[in-house]
Copies of this chain bind each other. A is one copy, B any other.
Amino acid sequence: MVELADDPPRASPGARGEAPRQARAVATRGTILGAAAEEFAAASYHEASLSRILERSGVTKGALYFHFVSKESIALAVVDEMEGICRAMVERCGALGLDPLRTAAQVARAVQDELDGPVLRAGQRLCSEGFSGPHRPGWPYRFWQDVFEDLFARAAADGLLVPTVDPASLARTFTDVSGGAFVASLAITGLDDLARRVCENWELVLGCVADPAWLDGWRREGGMTAVLGPHVGRASDGSRGWVPEP
């Protein structure tokens, strides 16, 4: 597919000049998506406005409508971006060489890192609002369930979980508590207390499903508070985060 940037679409563009035109088109599309992510992160799908996305992006109306036919198509493209970020995140965390439970905790940390930017914030908000797109049924909940189930099954095989714990059930609980922390924190504090909620939830649930020996070691490292690092230690300067009480 040939895409043009700020020009109206043409039926059969010549081969000469394709490369820079395509590069420009990709750049323009990225500019629009960045602006859309900021808009959808700040407002619900219903409240979000195409004209504010236009304003934020600085591109022409023609360019926007060349790349996207509707607010819905922009929203779905933001969720596409989110999907790429999530898959890369899981791969990166898997490559750290940690045990499966520590890998799961690192995934939670990586999600907090990415939520500092607008794409994951907008994507997760759109998904909470049911905007994951028909080509991605159950996204991102089914995805996280699969990721966690894989990690917890390996943790069980390695003896890192209490033997009565079912990895699939635990994966559902972590998916629920994570998805719920987002919607509840968004509704109550505009995501200000999200890292605190995540920290508490992981401490509580890991505290009752992890093997006591693993837990001892993990707690000596500082537990979830240490994993979440700056996210739970930034409340004193007014930014997002949480300083645990002494």
Q: Footprint of B on A, CB under 8 Å? A: 44-47, 72, 125, 127-132, 137-139, 141-142, 145, 169-170, 172-173, 175-184, 186-188, 197, 200-201, 204-205, 207-209
Contact = CB atoms under 8 A, between A and B. Distances in A.
Nearest to A245: B166
Most buried by B among A169, A178, A179, A197: A179
Contacts of A181: 176, 180
A24 B32 CA distance: 51
A146 to B, nearest CB: 11
A188 B132 CA distance: 11
Total copies of the chain:
2
A222 to B, nearest CB: 17
A203 to B, nearest CB: 9
A183 B145 contact: no
A196 to B, nearest CB: 8
A204 B44 CA distance: 33
Given A132-B187, A183-B141, A200 B173 contact: yes
13 contacts: A44-B130, A46-B131, A129-B129, A138-B187, A172-B197, A177-B177, A179-B179, A179-B184, A180-B182, A180-B183, A207-B208, A208-B208, A208-B209
